[in-house]
Structure 1
């Protein structure tokens, strides 16, 4: 069996790094599977159909060339290439427009306001900052492009005029933006990532805030560590978020990461976003998960192998 592990020719930030793929490759090869690590944007002439499975691991240059990446993914789909996360999961995860849909389907989320070119940005800016203060106790929001990874293009904003300026810049570029309240608990409790593999809870991580007041830079998953401090209703909130997400997609993913923050007053988990294009799984913090994911890839590869002529 042959499995392709997909990365990028270059990452958007100098501190971005892919620690998952080498560990996954080692685990796959320990289990007797052939692997190749290939860049989606710098491998001319590669026959992707030659692989039993293509696992999109770190295609993060995609955020700087979304059209090209979409063309590449669509091309693989047309050729019948088996993707670890199916084509609709990857395509749907390229834009955070799924967030209001997941909320409608029953997830407890951080409210997300989509701002499209032509919308009344002055009114939206005033309403979203006022709502953040009223509902979450802090007059601050995060504004970012609807399609982005890490904190690319994101900013924490506390003044209405600054939010108007940010939204106007996105509008001028023809970019849809999203605005979410800044949840202050991230500054002390961090952000919790829940990694799901084959529809089941695999492991959890916690990482520090990037956009906290006074913090400079855009670190990539700062101070990531294994586990999280579990509260009484956490599992119910995680299950509800995942089940709501499944109602919005036509097929179940092999793996996603659900990112949560805690409500500053109630402590309940609020869904921030779902990473489904190429979720970082933090295998270095949970090596057993690398072996588990490798087994899942090999099982899918075996199915693909059986149907080949």
Structure 2
């Protein structure tokens, strides 16, 4: 089996690092695969069709080169390259516009307001701050580009004037933005990441808040640690969110990460986002999960090999 693991020529920040790919590569090699680590944005001359599977691992320069990344992904799709995740999963995951749709299909989510260029910014700012205070007890929101990773371009905002200014800047740049309530439970409990492999819960992590008031933090999964504090209805909320997500995409993913916050009053899990382009899986915390994911890629590679012959 010949498998490509895709990274970037450079990451958006000095604190961004890919710890998954070396561990995954070692696991694939141990299981008899030939693997190469290649950069999507420095790939002139690479014949991607030579690989049985191309696994998009850390293409994070994409957030600064969205048009180019979409062209690259589309090009591989046109050539019949087998991607993990499949092409529709990657494309839909490039924009958080899927979140309101997932909510419509029954998931408990952090409410997401999409703000497109030309929309009434003043009204949106007032409404989203009022909703955050009404539903979560604090007039604080997070505003960010609809297509972003980590906390690129994100800010925690508590003043209407500041929110208007930030949305105006996005509007003038022609960038669609989104606004979500800032859920204060993240400051004490952290953010939970639930990693799904082949439709089943594989493992879970907790990481610290980045935008907590007065906190100096890294932009990239600060203080990630294994596990999370589980409550009685958590599995129901996780599976409901995943099932709702599946209703919004035409094919099933090989792996995604569901990120949740806990409601400060009800204690229920609320979906923050779904990482489906290249979800960090924290294999350094769960080496057995790397073996599990490697087997999934090998299964895909075998299917690709059958198609070729």
* TM value normalised by structure 2: 0.99
Q: Secondary structure at the match of 1:195?
A: strand
Unaligned runs of 5+ in 2: none
Structure 1 window deviating more from structure 2 (146-155 vs 207-216): it is 207-216
Check whether the contact 1:2–1:53 (CA below 8 A) recurs between aligned residues. yes
Superposition deviation, residue 241 in structure 1: 0.1
CA distance in 1, matches of 2:216, 2:130: 26
Superposition deviation, residue 8 in structure 1: 0.1
Superposition deviation, residue 44 in structure 1: 1.1
Tell me how many residue pairs correspond in the alignment: 309
Q: In the alignment, is residue 54 of structure 1 matched against residue 54 of structure 2?
A: yes
Q: Deviations over 1:96-121 (max 9, x none)?
A: 00000000000000000000111110
CA distance in 2, matches of 1:216, 1:180: 21
Superposition deviation, residue 217 in structure 1: 4.7
What is the match of residue 198 of structure 2? 198
What is the match of residue 73 of structure 1? 73
Unaligned runs of 5+ in 1: none
Residues 255-270 of structure 1 correspond to what in structure 2 (within 5 A)?
Answer: 255-270=255-270
Q: Deviations over 1:159-190 (max 9, x none)?
A: 00000000000000000000000000000000
What is the match of residue 151 of structure 2? 151
What is the match of residue 240 of structure 2? 240
Q: Deviations over 1:170-229 (max 9, x none)?
A: 000000000000000000000000000000000000000000001235431000000000
Residues 61-140 of structure 1 correspond to what in structure 2 (within 5 A)?
Answer: 61-140=61-140
What is the match of residue 275 of structure 1? 275
Check whether the contact 1:52–1:305 (CA below 8 A) recurs between aligned residues. yes
Q: Secondary structure at the match of 1:285?
A: coil
* TM value normalised by structure 1: 0.99
What is the match of residue 293 of structure 2? 293
CA distance in 2, matches of 1:94, 1:273: 11
Q: Secondary structure at the match of 2:214?
A: coil
Q: In the alignment, is residue 28 of structure 1 matched against residue 28 of structure 2?
A: yes
CA distance in 2, matches of 1:267, 1:207: 18
CA distance in 1, matches of 2:149, 2:205: 18
Q: Secondary structure at the match of 2:84?
A: coil
Q: Secondary structure at the match of 1:27?
A: helix
Check whether the contact 1:192–1:261 (CA below 8 A) recurs between aligned residues. yes
Which runs of structure 1 show a deviation greater than 4 angstroms over 4 or more consecutive aligned residues? none
Q: In the alignment, is residue 227 of structure 1 matched against residue 234 of structure 2?
A: no
CA distance in 2, matches of 1:117, 1:276: 25
**Aligned-pair Cα RMSD in Å:** 0.6
CA distance in 1, matches of 2:178, 2:46: 36
What is the match of residue 214 of structure 1? 214
Q: Deviations over 1:103-152 (max 9, x none)?
A: 00000000000001111100110010011011000110000000000000
Superposition deviation, residue 306 in structure 1: 1.2
